[in-house]
Structure 1
Amino acid sequence: CTHQQQSPTKHRYPSLHKSRGPCRASGTTTSRSQTVQPFSDEDASIETLSHCSSFSDAMSVADEGGEAGEETAQEDLQYKLNVFIDSTVDKSAKTRQGALDGLKAAMATRILYEFISDRRMTITDSIERCLKKGKGQEQCAAASLACLLCIQLGSGVESEEVFKTLKPIFKNILLDGAANIQTRQACATSLGLCTLVVEDDILDVYATMESFESLFMRSYVKEDGSRPSLNPQTTLLHTNALISWALLLTICTGSQVKAVTRKHLPKLPRLLENDDVNMRIAAGETIALLFELARDMDPVSPLCDKLNSLATDCNKHRAKTVKRKQRSVFRDVLKAVEERDFQTETIRFSTERMTIDSWVRKRTYDAFREFVGSGMNYHLQANEFIRGVFELGPPVLVDTATLKSMKISRFERHLYNAAAFKARTKARNKFRDKRVDVGEF
């Protein structure tokens, strides 16, 4: 994720940009002998949601039954995934929604490259159909699934085929003022990450960034000094566009970063006055990112004053949680602008650890975590593409016995929590005891 100069057509992850082999099949045949019967409209949603809620059952079987249990679990998982894929073309919108959510949950928490590679175009066709003909939540789920599909396939020919089909649809929805606003928000986020993972030509990256600019620039203060009047949903769309734009900024060339800085840095600070806290935070983090990438910039006093006021905000009209979140972020942003410093964070997963030591790395990490959620640590451990992005090297093999020895048992955890609770209670009771002389303090 380190910012580097690069040629317009050279991929930023050259060691990862390769085909993993030809596609062996494109169908969705099941791994079991029986055929999956199509769902009726009456029981479709119940059946699909049942599969979706129980797909994790297959994961726990392997730990209980050794190799035989692992093989059975794999068969069960593949069977359920095939049911999900078949159900994405069902007549029932609720069934399609459940199937998309099931596939999302599986891809976020497991490495399914072999299974997905064989069926990538079938899944892509389903995503395309749901984006074009679905509504609202179904379109949002399809957009998220597209990102997870690219994360699973990594940066190569297979994901390029997927993105080639979906990119025009994403852009059309994103820039269509009449489209569902939640769908446009989801497409803004998904288009950004898919471009980061897949896009080869840096000129195409710039073109996508211009699409994002055409949206969030509408939140800029006008030339006469007035602020545009936008509803919360439109502001969220502009916020998502700004975040995705900043994500792609992390892979731009030095000359492009300088051009972007000259164009946007005079106007970005005015977004810090926006009524929406998420827009203020997105603008602040983008400013910090620009100062990190354009190393020769000097902080300007008015900007530092504005960041300082947000870092110490005591506005009574704002909720405590909002103020707490905002102050935490802007303390780090102010430090980045004034001192060129970053608050380092360590991510631990399995037997490894990764350091988030820059705004570039933070923006990239947050983008992936947005889609894989609680499965981020698992992907950091096992996903070759994500490990390549964060320069973690090949996956580290850890045997089951070692992992079990590292885990604290439930009984030991209970004893530890009980002891900690007892010690905390004793310490507090010392100050609660009415017999304590106040003069002692």
Structure 2
Amino acid sequence: MPKKSKNTRAKGGKGRIEGGSGSDDDSVFNDNASVVSMVGSETSTIQDDNQVDESSSEETFENKLKDAIELASEKSATTRTKGLEALCQGLIKRYAPDFIEGRKATICDLVERSMKKGKGSEVQAAAKLAILLGVQLFDCEEVYKELRPTLLQIVSDKTESPNSRATVASALAGLCFLGGGELAEVVSVMKVLEGIYTLSAAKKDGSASTVSPETVVLHTSCLSGWALLSTLLTPGQIYEKINSRVSVLQSMFTSVDVDLRITAGETMVLLLESVYDHDEDFEPENFDELISSLKQLATDSSKSRSKKDRKEQRSSFRDVLRGVEEGEGPNENIKFGKETLKIDSWFTKIQYDWFCKMMGAGMNYHLSVNSMLREIFELGAPLNILDADGSNKLTKTQRNAANQQAFKMRTQVRSKNRDKRSAVF
């Protein structure tokens, strides 16, 4: 029987920032008259405000975003893609909810058109822009409703490339998390994602499924999105099907892909953490066999895997093992500016990890100023940011965000505030 810690299910995130870096600036085309020339300068604006006039910087930033919107409207697929990518980079590096709110319909239309008519990199750039758009807004329910049909169509279309479907799956899960409305809608999207990622589960004879590396990326993305949405479910709903979920996830431990194995393990411990809260005496079926599998992965020294993969897997599964066997959550502190985000549950770790993958190097900045993320991680209203004179004067965007936060708080992000009457897990 698993030993339970006294740790409660707090709401926060995980301290491993993945994806994105300063190299984003190198990926855009070098055109001084275009929006992408803005990207490199915006990093210094964020980190060195005392060298730039804030109002002038904000105006320049908005003008560059307008240029990017125009580029994303061009007939050339290459130009559209570069415009979409520049918009993504701009929204990662700056928080401009008021400016984006006024152009929400236009950007949403650009995203939908590119996903419907574009191919490959254009579809991926549009899908990434969709989730970044949602993070910028105070309420993205309208964006989700507008893009939902297209996102569902692409993620379910087997003729689309796996990489495009993977990015779209992330956008679908993220927008549903941020603006999906009632829990029944969340469960509906989870079922779509589950129908895809379970294709990587082991066969009936116990052998690993044979899928291409590109398809494994799709399955990992779907499982990661499914895990994010599962944080909106109540412990009772998760408890109803926990044994079948654990069985499927455990079967993915045989996958040749380290990312899928780790995602399966972390999703499993997330579900069990919730079930332990629901019933502290619960013990999964075949508990001893499960612990044995986790211990093997936590100490794996197989030479068939790369040294990097072995190290990453052992580190992750040591934490998973403690969570499953002892009911112990992670214990990390994420420092950003003058604040610290405490991560002490798998619930918050999954959410934090997911947004880190989307926001990349801009995660710490957005934790400081983004009302949406600060609500998700219960950080309260944004702190005043010092201007060039060292005073506590807020920027126009920050003032508006603080004023609107009180009545635009998004309660659908929290499972405790969702309508659960019609939801069936």
Common fold by TM > 0.5: yes
> In structure 2, what is the equivalent of residue 142 of structure 1?
126
Q: Structure 1, unaligned stretches of length 5 or more? A: 5-11, 13-43, 405-441
Q: Deviations over 1:391-419 (max 9, x none)?
A: 11111114347979xxxxxxxxxxxxxxx
Distance 1:96 1:48 in 2: 17
Residue in 1 that maps onto 2:394: none
Residue number in structure 2 paired with 1:101:
85
2:188 is the alignment partner of 1:207: yes
Aligned pair 1:249/2:230, yes or no? Answer: yes
Deviations 1:319-376 (A, max 9, x none): 1111000000000001111111123111111111011111110100111111111111
Aligned counterpart in structure 1 of residue 31 of structure 2, from 47, 52, 61: 47
Does residue 128 (structure 1) correspond to residue 112 (structure 2)? The answer is yes
Deviations 1:206-263 (A, max 9, x none): 0000001101111222334443321111111111111111111111123321123133
> C-alpha displacement at 1:75, in angstroms?
1.9
Deviation at 1:49, TM superposition (A): 8.8
Q: Could you tell me the percent identity over the aligned residues?
A: 37
Matched, 1:306 2:321: no
Pairwise CA distance, 1:298: 2.0
d(CA) in 1 for partners of 2:77, 2:254:
41
User: What is the deviation of 1:60?
Assistant: 4.7
State which of 267, 272, 289 in structure 2 corresponds to 1:286: 267
For the residue of structure 1 that corresponds to 2:208, the secondary structure is coil
Residue of structure 1 in register with 2:321 after alignment: 334
Query: Given the superposition, is the C-alpha separation of residues 403 and 138 from structure 1 closer, same or farther in structure 2, using an over 3 Å criterion?
Result: farther
Displacement of 1:189 in angstroms is 1.2
Q: Counterpart of 1:195 in 2: which secondary structure?
A: helix
What is the correspondence of 1:19-30 to structure 2 with a 5 Å cutoff? Answer: none
Normalised TM-score (structure 1):
0.77
Q: Which residue matches 2:343?
A: 356
Residue 184 of structure 1: which of 150, 156, 165 is its match? 165
Q: Report the TM-score when normalising by structure 2.
A: 0.80
Distance 1:189 1:260, change over 3 A: farther
Please give the alpha-carbon distance, in whole angstroms, between the structure 1 residues aligned to 2:230 and 2:43: 38
Q: Does the aligned pair in 2 maintain the 1:58–1:76 contact within 8 Å?
A: no
Superposition CA RMSD, Å: 2.4
Partner SS state of residue 294, structure 1: helix
Tell me, yes or no, if the aligned pair for 1:45 and 1:92 is still in contact at 8 Å: no
Q: Structure 1 residue 172 and structure 2 residue 166: aligned?
A: no
Q: 1:45 to 1:276 in 2, by over 3 A?
A: closer
CA distance in structure 1 between the partners assigned to 2:318 and 2:389 by the alignment = 40
Partner of residue 57, structure 1: 41
How far does residue 264 in structure 1 lie from its aligned partner after superposition? 1.4
How many aligned residue pairs are there? 360
Aligned to 2:359: 372
Rg larger for: 1
Structure 2 CA distance, aligned partners of 1:343 and 1:187?
29
Question: Does residue 193 in structure 1 map to residue 174 in structure 2?
Answer: yes
Contact 1:58–1:74, Cα closer than 8 Å, also in 2:
no
Residue 380 of structure 1 aligns with an amino acid whose one-letter code is: L
- Aligned-partner Cα distance in 1 for 2:35–2:103: 19
Distance 1:50 1:91 in 2: 16
Pair 1:227 & 2:211 matched:
no
How far apart in 2 are the matches of 1:59 and 1:222? 48
- How far, CA to CA, are the matches of 1:394 and 1:370 in structure 2? 24
**Per-residue deviation at 1:378?**
1.1
1:268 maps to a residue whose letter is: L
2:254 to 273, 280, 283: 273
Residue 240 of structure 1: aligned partner: 221
Separation in 1, partners of 2:194, 2:51: 54
Q: Residues 59 and 73 of structure 1 are in contact (CA less than 8 Å); yes or no, is this contact kept in structure 2?
A: no
Change (3 A) 1:341 1:60: closer
Cα displacement string for residues 137-170 of structure 1 (whole angstroms, at most 9, x for unaligned residues): 111010010000000003x3xx111111111111
Give the AA of the match of 2:177: L
Task: Tell me which amino acid in the other structure corresponds to 2:245.
Answer: H
* Further displaced range: 287-296 or 322-331: 287-296
Residues 177 and 59 of structure 1: CA distance in aligned 2, closer, same or farther (over 3 Å): closer
Secondary structure of 1:355's partner? strand
Q: Secondary structure at the match of 2:334?
A: strand
- Taking the aligned partners of 1:366 and 1:317, their CA distance within structure 2 comes to 28
Query: Structure 1 residues 317 and 390 mapped into 2: Cα distance closer, same or farther (>3 Å)?
Result: same
In structure 2, runs of 5+ residues without a counterpart are 1-7, 12-27, 392-425
Separation of aligned partners in 2, 1:206 and 1:330: 28
Alpha carbons of structure 1 residues 402 and 304: separation in structure 2 relative to 1, 3 Å? farther
Aligned to 1:258: 239
